[in-house]
Structure 1
Amino acid sequence: MQNDLILLHGWGMNKSVWQLCEKELSNEYNGAIYSLNLPGFGGAAVPDKEYSLASAVQQLAKQINDNSTIVAWSLGGLFALYLAKYYPKKVSKVVLVSSSPCFVEQDEWEGVSGQVLDKFKDQLVQDSNKTIDRFLAIQAMGSEHAKEDIKALRALLKLQPVASKQALSVGLELLQKQDLRTLFSRLSIPMYGVFGCLDTLVPKRVCARMSELNPDFSYKMIEKASHAPFISHRDEFISYLKSIL
């Protein structure tokens, strides 16, 4: 019997983004497949204590069985790595989808400008819906069918309740301030990645850096994909996922 397959979404999104992939994977994957809402997203409760990566992962861990494979997109990747470190019995394998242990550019590390995330934080206070729309546009930037990708994500997003403002705010803080590179380098479980060559949020050079940090990490680069390869290049994404499961 195969282990559970857990699907985690990214910032501003909810578990519905995995709906199409879930259907296709269920035809061939013998284990249970669960897409989960991160705390505060899609109607999920926020942590009782102060919302942090630690408290959010503690809440998430209660929904995950031992020895699960975690497939995590974007912000969800930070949750997956933290889960693998502090709840090791829960995680047998991690697949990062357009995700990085450190999203903000640093010395010799490519990523998003901290100023860009500052602008999003300011905009979030004024209008959360417009902020999410702008974030969707950045995620699809460079994709050969960007308009269709944004439309698909927006439609899936509407299938669940809107995210809480607290979760949106803390999520941006996590993207801006979390640096899990040391944690990532010390994990000894199998880790994989799927990335888009045109991604502006997780630039392609980051993938090679990640392989240098951890020799157990291997990845696939999808040439014409941006930040949401499981939407824009679903067949290629599913095919790769099946090969490593």
Structure 2
Amino acid sequence: MNQIQTAAGQRRVIVMIPGWGMNSSVWQQLAERLAINHHLIVLDLPGQGRSQVLEVFSLTAVAETLLNVILEPVFTLVGWSLGASVAIEMARLSPDRVHSLMLVAGTPKFVKTADWPGVPAQVFDEFAVQLAADLPQTMLRFLALQVYGSANARQALQQLKTALSATAFPRLDTLIGGLNILKYSDVRPVLRQLSCPVRAIYGANDQLIPVASASALRDINPAICVHIIDTAGHALFLSHQQEFYDWLLAGL
């Protein structure tokens, strides 16, 4: 696993996990600011960035893999999108090690059902077909979707493209494995039972995570602190860097 550590102030150990298809470079600007006073560990998901591919790609396997490379005994988890799901699973597996959770444009359940706002299941199937047909072009369209409806969209999109180009594209089987986690995982029961502090932040214009997930999250666990950025999309930590930075610091 790729692990980038800095330890300037060491007031808090912060572990940052990117989303589906992305590598740890997406956190670079934020990590540089946080590293002034905190210990940052920035991880790649298996098969993304510079990390090794997992043969069995499941939510639990990914979470266990990340836990095994973190040497610090206690830490705060910051997970974006798929990374948020992984962070929730890590907290379930090692509740004594996770001090708090910061969920960035994340949801415990991505697929829409009668009792949960989300994305129709067939969207994941169609996306998998598009990836198999033209992986690079599909990834670029996905980046555009992440900033759609957001202020500062052009700048955020360029940052996403720069991060994506920092390493080779993930393998198709890794990307499909991640899509399957998004499609089939439901960690709502975990969020109901977690005792650590949980904070979540959403973009009101997110095209991947309906903003209705915010109120649904509170229904699961009223103790979860939810913040919504009105003019943000899915990549809100890039388009609204200062507001996101302030939100993150407030929870440390």
Q: Report the TM-score range of the alignment, normalised by the length of the smaller protein.
A: over 0.9
Q: Which runs of 4+ in 1 moved over 6 A?
A: none
Q: Gaps spanning 5+ residues in structure 2: where?
A: 1-9
1:127 equivalent in alignment to 2:134: yes
Q: Give the one of 50, 59, 67 matched to 1:43.
A: 50
Identify the residue that residue 18 of structure 1 maps to in structure 2: 27
Identify the residue that residue 218 of structure 1 maps to in structure 2: 225
Q: Structure 1 stretch 154-163 or stretch 206-215: which is displaced more? A: 154-163
Q: Gaps spanning 5+ residues in structure 1: where?
A: none
Other structure's SS at 1:110 match: coil
Q: C-alpha root-mean-square deviation of aligned residues, in Å?
A: 1.3
Give me the whole-angstrom Cα distance separating, in 2, the residues matched to 1:181 and 1:172.
Answer: 18
Q: Give the one of 52, 66, 72 matched to 2:73.
A: 66
1:8 equivalent in alignment to 2:17: yes
* Post-superposition offset of 1:3: 3.1
Q: Give the one of 228, 240, 243 matched to 2:247.
A: 240
**TM-score normalized by the length of structure 1:** 0.94
Identify the residue that residue 5 of structure 2 maps to in structure 1: none
Other structure's SS at 2:61 match: helix
Identify the residue that residue 177 of structure 2 maps to in structure 1: 170
1:94 equivalent in alignment to 2:86: no
* Post-superposition offset of 1:127: 1.7
Identify the residue that residue 4 of structure 2 maps to in structure 1: none
Other structure's SS at 1:6 match: strand
Write the mapping of 1:135-214 to structure 2, written as runs, cut at 5 A: 135-214=142-221
Other structure's SS at 2:69 match: coil
* Post-superposition offset of 1:90: 2.5
Give me the whole-angstrom Cα distance separating, in 1, the residues matched to 2:116 and 2:207.
Answer: 14
* Post-superposition offset of 1:226: 0.4
Q: Which residue identity does 2:250 align to in structure 1?
A: S
Q: Which whole-Å deviations, capped at 9, do the CAs of 1:20-45 have from their partners, x for residues lacking one?
A: 00111122x3x310110001100201
Q: Which whole-Å deviations, capped at 9, do the CAs of 1:145-164 have from their partners, x for residues lacking one?
A: 32332221011221223212
Q: Which whole-Å deviations, capped at 9, do the CAs of 1:212-233 have from their partners, x for residues lacking one?
A: 1012210211110000111000
Identify the residue that residue 6 of structure 2 maps to in structure 1: none
Give me the whole-angstrom Cα distance separating, in 2, the residues matched to 1:162 and 1:125.
Answer: 13
Q: Which whole-Å deviations, capped at 9, do the CAs of 1:175-211 have from their partners, x for residues lacking one?
A: 1111111111111110001111111211111111111
* Identical-pair percentage: 34
